[in-house]
Structure 1
Amino acid sequence: MNIIAKSLKVLQQSSKYANTYQSLSSMSTMKFETISITKPKEFVYQVELNRPKKLNALNNTMWLEIGACFKELEDSSDCRVVILTGAGKAFSAGIDLQDAMSLGQNLVDEDDVARRCRMIEKKIKIYQDAFLSIEKCRKPVIAAVNGLCIGGAFNMICAADIRYASKDAWFSLKEVDIGMAADVGALQWLPKIIGSESLVRELAFTARKMTPEEALSCGLISRLFNDNQTLLTETLSIAEEISLKSPVAVQGTKRTLIHARDHSVEDGLEYIRNINQTMIQSDDFVNAAVAQATKGDAPVFSKL
């Protein structure tokens, strides 16, 4: 297959998922090859990386489907919280190197350096956007990590709002071992997550293994569980608790926290002031305030 035909095939596949990005249909209509979506509780969706025989390695299809999935979840009023997990014995082994080699073959067929660079830039942008869709999703995302979580997967969990792990989990920012700098988020998110430039650089320069205990102590994860079953049970419990809160309040809180991370305190206060001048006029505020004041039944909030 010549370079033009190969490029058309890639663009057709990308266009398929670009159309999915625009869909406002229910999640039940979504069909994925590499991820599985379930609804374990009302308003709680579980997104499971589902290539267990490949240790959930990230191939091109999975990258595209992650982006499409989280855009769909953001648009779905039936979703208030997302749990992100991996099927089988691992969360994810990171980038699928065999799949990545097929991209390399496309580059070999193109002689001009500018055009090779443009092809690579487009592909990196697609992969970056996939993980950005996790952060941009207005619904809180909880990553529940079991087994290995390396390379691209390490980047991916940095986009989540909350990170938990089981004691068999381990982490590695692996990219330097395959001759590249991480380019899908970890080098940007991780310093803000753990707050130690020294540790971030050590992990990024060495690609060494990080134990779950170290991940807990440095703040990469906030809770550590003895086994995967407990991890999933407790994660679902937290997700359900969040799902019962006002979606107006929870989604506004996520937006405000992300804005505050990248702006001054004064800018952040102005941002939430502009949001709340509208949002506290919502029925959610009235219903929640009355329930708290009267110690009555927990309020039930409308879909958003």
Structure 2
Amino acid sequence: MTDMTDLTNLEDLVSLKVDRTGTVAEVTLIGPGKGNAMGPDFWRELPLVFAALDADPQVNAIVLTGSGASFSYGLDLPAMMGMWAPLLAGDALAGPRTALLKEVRTLQESVNAVAGCRKPVVAAIAGWCIGGGVDVTSAADIRLASADAKFSVRETKVAIVADLGSLQRLSGIIGEGHLRELALTGRDIDAARAEKIGLVNDVYPDQDSLLAAARALAAEIAANPPLVVQGVKDVLEVNTQRRIAEGLRYVSTWNAAFLPSKDLGEAMQAFLERRQPEFKGE
């Protein structure tokens, strides 16, 4: 692969790596958090990278994948909680809650940059894809997985209503019943179940064969007339854009009002202490 020279106008990337082969760009999550956990650098860089790829006439399709054994462990809680702590105080008034609303919507826009990119995105998912990982891959056009992939809309287990797109986008991908089961239980599902419910199109034996298939699929898409491909994506999205946008706006407002809670504090403390939380509905 050759380095993506069209990204030279961006500052050095910390959480993402971008390469290009022909007209296919490959975006790889590289951490720096364990399991490609999504910290401040990721949320800052994701929209910059996808805006650059969207504008690059030499890119017709994109592969999105993770380095190492997993796509992503999801939100990097230790890295993010430092700046969020004042916004999540149980007695926070209008000022902190307005700041929390702004923060949620900023993260939503990062994920929206993937969905809004005019170039089709093929997500290649190996290992764990948790929380924010599901948010980001649900914003892709097509998802493929390796046999060891595991998925979890896990926010409910840490006293959070998922607010970055999974609840809005997955109903159109896997259907309302499967979405409710995953979101209300927070349970993990394997690649076979993900394929059965339509979360991924195909499952491959290992990460190497997964990446080969994702690259081949992206190259097949990229070989078609680029403006027509972009037109197909635009037409397909016309019936879902308003519903998704309204859902994101509603959940950001809901979380700004109700996210701060004793249960959330208990979830964070239990995470740090590596124990099961004890929720009391407070």
What is the TM-score with the length of structure 1 in the denominator?
0.75
Q: Does 1:253 align with 2:232?
A: yes
Q: Does 1:244 align with 2:223?
A: yes
Q: Match of 1:260, SS?
A: coil
| Contact 1:163 1:222 (8 Å CA) reproduced | yes
Q: CA deviation at 1:53?
A: 5.5
Q: CA deviation at 1:260?
A: 3.5
Alpha-carbon distance in 1 for matches of 2:108, 2:216: 30
Q: Match of 1:36, SS?
A: strand
Q: Which residue does the alignment assign to 2:210?
A: 231
| Contact 1:50 1:56 (8 Å CA) reproduced | yes
| Contact 1:149 1:169 (8 Å CA) reproduced | yes
Alpha-carbon distance in 1 for matches of 2:114, 2:39: 18
Which of 193, 218, 240 lines up with 1:214 in the alignment? Answer: 193
User: Structure 1: which 5+ residue stretches go unaligned?
Assistant: 1-24, 264-304
Give aligned-pair identity as a percent.
Answer: 34
- Relative to 1, partners in 2 of residues 1:252 and 1:90: Cα closer, same or farther, differing over 3 Å? same
Q: Does 1:161 align with 2:141?
A: yes
Q: Does 1:84 align with 2:64?
A: yes
Q: CA deviation at 1:238?
A: 1.0
Alpha-carbon distance in 1 for matches of 2:44, 2:128: 22
Q: Which has the higher contact order (CA 8 A, sep 6+)?
A: 2
Q: Which residue does the alignment assign to 1:13?
A: none
Q: Which residue does the alignment assign to 2:23?
A: 43
Alpha-carbon distance in 1 for matches of 2:89, 2:239: 45
Q: CA deviation at 1:100?
A: 2.0
Q: Match of 1:210, SS?
A: strand
Letter in structure 1 aligned against 2:13: F
Q: Does 1:121 align with 2:112?
A: no
1:77-125, Cα deviation, whole Å (9 max, x unpaired): 1111010000101100000010121123343799751011111111111
What is the TM-score with the length of structure 2 in the denominator?
0.80
Alpha-carbon distance in 1 for matches of 2:114, 2:143: 13
Alpha-carbon distance in 1 for matches of 2:43, 2:225: 31
Larger Rg: 1
How many corresponding residue pairs?
A: 238
Q: Which residue does the alignment assign to 1:8?
A: none
| Contact 1:215 1:221 (8 Å CA) reproduced | yes
User: Structure 2: which 5+ residue stretches go unaligned?
Assistant: 243-282
- Relative to 1, partners in 2 of residues 1:260 and 1:108: Cα closer, same or farther, differing over 3 Å? closer
Alpha-carbon distance in 1 for matches of 2:228, 2:35: 37
State the Cα RMSD in Å: 2.0
Letter in structure 2 aligned against 1:43: T
| Contact 1:176 1:207 (8 Å CA) reproduced | yes
Alpha-carbon distance in 2 for matches of 1:155, 1:77: 27
| Contact 2:15 2:32 (8 Å CA) reproduced | no
